[in-house]
Amino acid sequence: MLMAELTALLTPEGLRLLDAVDSVDSTDDVARLVSGLRASGHSPELVTAVVTQARLRTRGRAKFGELADRMLFTRAGLEQATRLGVAVRHAARFRNAGLERVADLGCGIGGDALGLAGLGLHVDAVDVDDVTAAIAAYNLAPFGQDATVRQGTAEDSDLSAVDAVWLDPARRTAGHGDTSRTRAEDWSPSLDWSFELSTRMPTGIKLGPGLDRTSIPDHVEAQWVSAEGSTIELVLWSGALAREGVRRAALVIRGEAAHELTASADAADEPPRALGTYLHEPDGAVIRARLIGDVARSLEAGVLDEKIAYLTSDAAVTSPFVQSFRVRETLPADAKKLGQALRSRGIGRLEIKKRGVDIDPAVLRRTLKLKGEEEATLILTRVGAKRIAILADRV
C-alpha cells in the first residue's frame, strides 16, 4: 500500500466506504466493487485502497476473527502477523510474570500488540515502515494512551520506561506486498543485538520455526508453536518470561484447545522397532523441539526408522502431540501394484502422507486411478533403504 492510498482511505469518506463493503471473496467480487466505486466518481487512490482493504479484511478473519472487519492491513503485514489467539497466549506470559509495560519492537500491523493491550498491558509499539506504523496506530486506536505507536528502529528505541520487550525481527525483504525471506545475517534487528538485549531484560523473540538450533542461546527457553497442524513460530523467552527448568517446549493449538510438552533439554530418543498396530505422526512443534522421545514413551512406542519422525506401537493410546493411525496392512510400494491393490479394496478416497521418500502425492494420486466408495490413509515412508506403503485409518 502506498502512503497516498492510505491517506485517501483514512478520511471519513474512505472509512465509510470501506465499512459499507461486504466480503470480497473472489476476483468477480473485486471487479464488481471496482466498477461500482469508479462509477460513483471516487478517486483511483481511494478505489484501490478500499478494494485492497476489503479483500484483506476477508482474508484476515482467519487470523483475527470478526475483529478483522474493523482493522487495516497490508498484504505482507497480514501474512506475517501473529494469529490473535496466539498473540493472547504471548501476552499472558508477560501478564503472568507481573510485567506491565511492554515495548513491541517490529510491531507490524499490530497483531501481538493487540494481544498485549487486550490483556490490560501498556504497549509501546515501534515499526520502521511509515505505512505499517500508521496502520498499527489505527488498529490500536481503541486502546487510547495504553497503546502508542511510533515509526523508528528497534535499535534506537528508548527502553528505559518499559518492563519487558516483545521483538519480531524483520526476516523478509521490505515492502507491503510480495516479499521474500532473507538470510539470518540480514535480519533487522540482528540476532546478536536481539540476544544481547535478552540478557539485560525480559524478552520474547519471535522467530521462524526452522531457525538453526545451534543459534539458540543457552539462557533462553525455546518454545515451538503449532496451530491447526502447521508449525508457525519459535519464540525465545528470557528473564522472568522463561519458566524455571524449561529449556525446550512444544505448544500444540487446535481450535480452542492447547497442549504443551516441556523439558529441561532435548529428549532422548526411543530405539527403532518393527511396525506395530498403530502408527503415530508427531506434531511439527514436537519434532522441532526434539521431544519425540518423551511422546514415544507416553505411547509405549518406538520409532519406525531412527532418521524419520514416525512412531509405532501396539498400545491403543494416542496423544494431542501426534496424529494416530490404526494400521490395516502394508502394500507394495510400486505405484502400479499399489494402484491395483487399492482398487481391489474399493478405495476411492485416499489421504496420502509421506516422510523420507521423494514422491509427489498429487502425481501419485493420478497414477493410482482410484475407484470405489471406501476411504483410507496411505503412509509412504522407508525403513532403512526400503520403501514401504502403509494402509491405515485415522484414529
Instruction: Assess contact for 191 and 128: CB atoms under 8 A.
Output: no
What pLDDT score was predicted for residue 213?
Answer: 94
Query: 162-194 burial string, b = 16+ CB within 10 Å, else e?
Result: bbbbbbbbbbbeeebeebeeeeeeebbbebeeb
15 shares its domain with 57: yes
Is 307 inside any structural domain? yes
Domain boundary at 73, 94, 117, which? Answer: 73
Considering the domain architecture, whether residues 95 and 17 belong to the same structural domain is answered as no
Identity at 117, one-letter amino acid code: A
Ordered alpha helix ranges (H), the chain: 3-9, 12-20, 27-39, 44-64, 75-80, 84-96, 111-118, 130-140, 191-200, 284-289, 292-298, 335-344, 361-368
Same-domain check for residues 17 and 66: yes
Q: Based on the domain organization, do 304 and 218 belong to the same domain?
A: no
CB 252 within 8 A of CB 226: yes
187 assigned to some structural domain: yes
Indicate whether 107 and 226 sit together in one domain: yes
Question: How many other CB atoms are there within 10 angstroms of residue 10's CB atom?
Answer: 15
Positive or negative: CA dihedral 337, 340, 343, 344: negative
Q: Global pTM?
A: 0.90
Torsion of the alpha carbons at 265, 271, 276 and 279, rounded to the nearest 10: 30
234, 263, 292: which is the final residue of a domain?
263
Residues 320 and 352 in one domain: yes
Q: Are strands 278-282 and 322-331 parallel, antiparallel or unpaired?
A: antiparallel
Q: Which of 73, 102, 123 is the last residue of a domain?
A: 73
141: cell is 486506536
Collect all residues with Cβ–Cβ distance below 8 Å to 194 and sequence separation of at least 6: 167, 169, 203, 205
Same domain membership, residue 245 and residue 128: yes
273 located within any domain: no
Best CA proximity match to 283, nearest among 305, 253, 246, 312: 253
Looking at the structure, do residues 252 and 352 belong to the same domain, yes or no? Answer: no
Determine the 3-state secondary structure of 191 from DSSP.
helix
List the CATH number of the domain containing 118: 3.40.50.150
272 lies in some domain:
no
Residue 270 covered by a domain: no
Confirm whether 268 is domain-assigned.
Answer: no
Note whether residue 366 is domain-resident. Answer: yes
Per the rule left: phi > 0, alpha: psi between -120 and 50, beta: everything else, 239 is: left
User: CA dist 268 to 142, 263, 286, Å?
Assistant: 48, 11, 13
Q: What's the structural domain count of the chain?
A: 3
67 with 98, same domain?
no
pLDDT of amino acid 184: 65
- Identify whether residues 38 and 160 lie together within a single domain: no
Q: Provide the pLDDT for residue 26.
A: 86
CA dihedral 216, 221, 225, 231 (to 10 degrees): 20
**Residue ranges making up the domain that contains 107:** 78-263
- 50 and 190 in a common domain: no
Query: Residue 271 falls within a domain, yes or no?
Result: no
Give yes or no for a contact between 74 and 177, defined as CB atoms under 8 angstroms apart: yes
Q: Block means of pLDDT (10 residues each) for the chain, length 395 residues?
A: 85 91 85 88 89 93 95 94 96 97 97 97 96 96 96 96 94 60 74 96 96 95 96 98 97 94 96 97 97 97 96 95 98 94 96 95 94 96 95 97
Q: Do 103 and 150 fall into the same domain?
A: yes
